Amino acid sequence: MAAVREGAEVTLTALFDREAMTATETEVDDALTEGVRVLNGVMPIGLIRNGDGRAVGFSLLVASLTKKGNSYPAGGNRV
């Protein structure tokens, strides 16, 4: 959360629903209170870079999990 305090936009991505995340409820609530954006049910697939090559964003796909817990893109829907 230090990055948020320094003015960065911070996004946490998770394959799981909030209830299934390994973070405690308090940790998630603290992050949200600090301004961290939480996106559940997505998988990062690439970085978006500016002209200087610095990462300025990322591409995501909606994700699903198999019964064994393996992730896969769900229909190829980009977020």
Strand order in the sheet with 71-78: 42-49, 55-65, 71-78
> What's the pLDDT band for 77 if we cut at 50, 70, 90?
low
| Residue 60: other Cβ atoms inside 10 A | 19
Q: Is 73 in contact with 62 (CB distance < 8 Å)?
A: yes
- pLDDT (tens digit, 9 = 90+) per residue, 11-31? 999 988 888 888 999 999 999
Q: CATH number of 2-78: 3.50.50.60, 3.40.250.10, 3.40.50.2300, 2.60.40.1120?
A: 3.50.50.60
> What's the pTM value of the predicted model, to 2 decimals?
0.74
Residue spans of the domains in the chain: they are 2-78
Average pLDDT, the chain: 87
Percent of the chain exceeding pLDDT 90 equals 46
What residues are paired with 72 via a beta bridge?
Answer: 64
Distances (CA, A) of 25 to 5, 20, 22, 28, 74: 21, 10, 9, 5, 26
